[in-house]
């Protein structure tokens, strides 16, 4: 608990990171409460209010089918955050397993797994995702899985680097001498001490996944209408940019603020969890 208190104090010193954390928390709460706070059904069509500008009845205006943009933005936040968290969860699972095995066993196992990581890194991630989604049917499930299985490489390298250092520590040698098996050493003794950089990478990963999902939806390969997402709202804005500026402005700002907030939180966590900065403060 004392460690968490120290990390919390260090994180709170970075005001921008605190603002980012508050923004992220508000977005998560808003997405969870979407059925209760959304003023309209996000898929309800109103032919009498097509492309209406922001007004008291529709604070963010309406789209080309008369659907309330505010309601679609609120429900779209659920899609973006769901994609971000699930995709990063998949990436963390794959990256931690591969990185832990490579770092713990070393030698030929490490060489083979790291060459596989290098091969994956050689492919442009976004174009690889486009190719896979072009083959499969576009859906939110497909997007989450594809982003996850193409985004684990950095996590694997981080975990491997931590394992290469930690496996030579005294506490691991002592546990091995007491008869602890490989699985216990990996998951009980080493992995908990190797998760600090993983938490930071996960925070940045959520921001990246949200950005990728928005890009795919903007291109028509992501979440399919009538289901709302910030990306496909932007698509409608592109088609009506001359007469409906609000369709481009508000989802664009939402993506910008969300991605920026997650990046700020990631930077704050990186500084708060960096032991080198702890040592510098002591001296």
Q: Which CB contacts under 8 angstroms, 24+ apart, belong to 24-30?
A: 24/258, 24/261, 24/262, 24/265, 27/77, 27/81, 27/258, 27/261, 28/81, 30/74, 30/77
Residues in contact with 102: Cβ distance below 8 Å, sequence separation at least 6, in sequence order: 109, 110, 113, 114, 156, 160, 163
Does residue 255 contact residue 23 with C-beta atoms inside 8 Å? no
- 258 to 13, 220, 221, 261: CA distances (angstroms): 21, 21, 21, 5
Residue 281 has pLDDT above 60, yes or no: no
pLDDT band at residue 211, thresholds of 50, 70 and 90? confident
Residue 277 has pLDDT above 60, yes or no: no
Cis peptide before 205 (omega within 30 of 0): no
Tell me the C-alpha distance between 222 and 209, whole Å. 12
Residue 96: per-residue pLDDT: 92
Does residue 140 contact residue 223 with C-beta atoms inside 8 Å? yes
Within a domain: residue 12? yes
Tell me the C-alpha distance between 253 and 242, whole Å. 18
Does residue 202 contact residue 96 with C-beta atoms inside 8 Å? no
Within a domain: residue 251? yes
pLDDT digits 0-9 by tens, 147-206: 888 889 989 999 998 888 888 888 887 888 878 777 888 888 888 888 888 888 888 888
Within a domain: residue 45? no
Within a domain: residue 55? no
Q: If you average pLDDT over residues 222-235, what whole number do you get?
A: 83
pLDDT digits 0-9 by tens, 98-124: 999 998 888 888 899 999 998 888 877
pLDDT digits 0-9 by tens, 42-64: 888 888 888 888 988 889 988 88
The residues with which 62 forms a beta bridge, in sequence order, are 68
Within a domain: residue 57? no
Residue 2: per-residue pLDDT: 62
Residue 274: per-residue pLDDT: 67
Within a domain: residue 76? yes
Q: If you average pLDDT over residues 249-259, what whole number do you get?
A: 91
Residue 1 has pLDDT above 80, yes or no: no
Within a domain: residue 50? no
Residue 89: per-residue pLDDT: 92
Residue 183: per-residue pLDDT: 83
Tell me the C-alpha distance between 116 and 216, whole Å. 26
Residue 3 has pLDDT above 80, yes or no: no
CATH of the domain at 122: 1.10.3720.10
Residue 92: per-residue pLDDT: 92
Average pLDDT, the chain: 85
Residue ranges making up the domain that contains 222: 2-39+68-282
Q: If you average pLDDT over residues 200-219, what whole number do you get?
A: 86
pLDDT band at residue 21, thresholds of 50, 70 and 90? very high
Nearest alpha carbon to residue 219 among 131, 149, 121: 131
Q: If you average pLDDT over residues 118-134, what whole number do you get?
A: 80
Give the HSE-up count for residue 93: Cα atoms under 13 Å, Cβ half-sphere: 10
Residue 275 has pLDDT above 90, yes or no: no
Above pLDDT 90, what percent of the chain? Answer: 23
Which has more pLDDT, 10 or 115? 115
Within a domain: residue 149? yes
Residue 235 has pLDDT above 80, yes or no: yes
Residue 139 has pLDDT above 80, yes or no: no
Count of domains forming the chain? 1
């Amino acid at each position: 608990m004392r460690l968490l208190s120290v990390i919390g104090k260090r994180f709170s010193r970075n005001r921008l990171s605190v603002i980012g954390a508050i923004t992220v928390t508000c977005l998560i709460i808003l997405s969870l409460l979407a059925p209760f706070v959304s003023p309209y059904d996000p898929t309800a069509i109103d032919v009498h209010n097509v492309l209406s500008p922001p007004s008291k009845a529709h604070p963010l205006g309406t789209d080309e089918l008369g659907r309330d943009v505010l309601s679609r933005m609120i429900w779209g936040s659920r899609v973006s955050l769901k994609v971000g968290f699930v995709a990063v969860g998949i990436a963390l699972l794959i990256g931690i397993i591969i990185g832990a095995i490579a770092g713990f066993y070393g030698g030929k196992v490490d060489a083979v797994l790291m060459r596989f990581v290098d091969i994956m890194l050689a492919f442009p991630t976004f174009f690889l995702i486009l190719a896979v989604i072009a083959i499969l049917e576009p859906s939110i499930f497909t997007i989450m899985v594809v982003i996850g299985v193409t985004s684990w490489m950095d996590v694997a390298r981080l975990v491997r680097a931590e394992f290469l250092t930690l496996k030579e520590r005294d506490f691991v040698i002592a546990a091995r001498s007491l008869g602890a098996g490989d699985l216990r050493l990996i998951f009980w003794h080493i992995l908990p001490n190797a998760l600090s950089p993983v938490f930071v990478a996960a925070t940045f990963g959520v921001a990246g996944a949200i950005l990728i999902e928005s890009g795919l939806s903007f291109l028509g390969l992501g979440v399919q209408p009538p289901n709302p997402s910030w990306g496909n709202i932007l698509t409608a804005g592109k088609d009506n940019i001359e007469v409906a500026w609000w369709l481009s402005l508000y989802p664009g700002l939402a993506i910008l603020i969300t991605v920026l907030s997650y990046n700020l939180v990631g930077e704050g966590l990186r500084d708060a969890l960096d032991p080198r900065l702890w040592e510098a403060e002591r001296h």
